[in-house]
Amino acid sequence: MFELPARWPSAFAALPYTALYRQQPADFVVEEELGFEPEGQGEQVFVWVEKNNLSTAYVAEQLARLAQIHPKQVSYSGIKDRTAITRQWFSLHLAGQPTPEAAALSGSGWQVLACQRHPRKLKRGTHRQNRFVLRLTLAPLSNEVEQQQRAIWLAERWQQLCAQGVPNYFGPQRFGVAGRNLHLAQQLMEGRPLKRQQKSFALSALRSALFNDFLAQELRAGRWNQAYSGDIFCLRASRSFFTSQLDEDAAALQARLDQGDLDRAGPLVGAGRYPVQGQMAEQYDQWQARYPAECAFLAAQGLRTEPRPLRVGLIDPHWSLTDDQLQLSFALPAGSFATAVLAELLHAEDAQLRPSADLHQE
């Protein structure tokens, strides 16, 4: 069974500084951005919710209870961090019913900020991006000179990440404390029954771990941000994917990649062929051969093989440093993790993933 490494390989030079984050929910703020406005009419009611230290699934259950509908009639686009202050949209199927007042759907730990009608329910991955505001506490230094050196180093590294992007790893919260969700995947592969939510976490964790492993391989080989003919690329603007032709000019592809127009893609394993060609197909087959049981199991679960960018760029990034307090603000496309940014900036420890913490989900 796949085992998580202590740390995934980094894209940039070694990190000399450490920090602690998510010591309290207010240190990790996430706001979902749909990329469109609800139309104001339709069978669905979109509710804009701010939650504090609660899971997305729990709030969805409570919204169903308060609206007096079946939990399956409540949908959302993305699972947001539990130990955080997050704002996201839910959709409630309320055909033929009046639009409820926001206060009637609010509860302890969450508040409905707005209700708007829309013809279609939210589906997973519908939103365009998430905006993050992160507050970190840096490890104390002994004198002012060291603090100034750290400030200079962090400023330079931050600019490097903003210019070049970061490896698009799935974050540690996908795997649970001490990799518990991967242990659930092992149980599932052994034929042990799991509850529906546990099964979902397990399959997602296994698929994510394999993607991270592929990305780690490409980082070690220096290929993660290099363009090759016959490979799969993601267009950043539209987030659509294409396979380059074997006779396509790799230098032209590389120029577009360097400009941030394109990113290489890697596999989210499932059924079906990953459509790379030529040399890239050989490299992919060699990687997949290391995990025959895991790949076959995921294919049997009805998941389809699909691409995911190996690199993600920071959108509208900002930072500030005051003494030992660092604040970062940026947006990432839906499905990318703020922890992937932190991993390239600092040795950042998540207070919620310490062994004493409860199981924490994205």
Can you read off the two tokens belonging to residue 278?
A: 């030529």
Is residue 261 part of the annotated active site? The answer reads no
Q: Which residue has the tokens 């804009």?
A: 48
Residue 178 neighbours by CB under 8 Å, 6+ apart: 355
Q: At what angle do helices 292-300 and 196-220 cross, to 10 degrees?
A: 140
Name the H helices within the chain: 56-67, 144-164, 180-189, 196-220, 250-258, 278-288, 292-300, 338-345
Catalytic residue among 27, 81, 263, 350: 81
Nearest to 131 by CA among 3, 32, 261, 263: 32
Query: Around 139, how many Cα atoms within 13 Å sit in the side-chain half-sphere?
Result: 9
The helix (H) or strand (E) run that includes residue 18 is strand 18-21
Residues facing 47 on adjacent strands: 90, 115
Residue 329 neighbours by CB under 8 Å, 6+ apart: 131, 132, 133, 134, 316, 317, 318, 319
Can you read off the two tokens belonging to residue 344?
A: 């390239």
User: If you count DSSP H runs as helices and E runs as strands, how many of each does the chain have, helices first?
Assistant: 8, 16
Residue 97 neighbours by CB under 8 Å, 6+ apart: none
Can you read off the two tokens belonging to residue 257?
A: 């990649």
Distance, in Å, from the CA atom of 162 to the CA atom of 330, rounded to the nearest integer, reads 10
Active site residues: 81
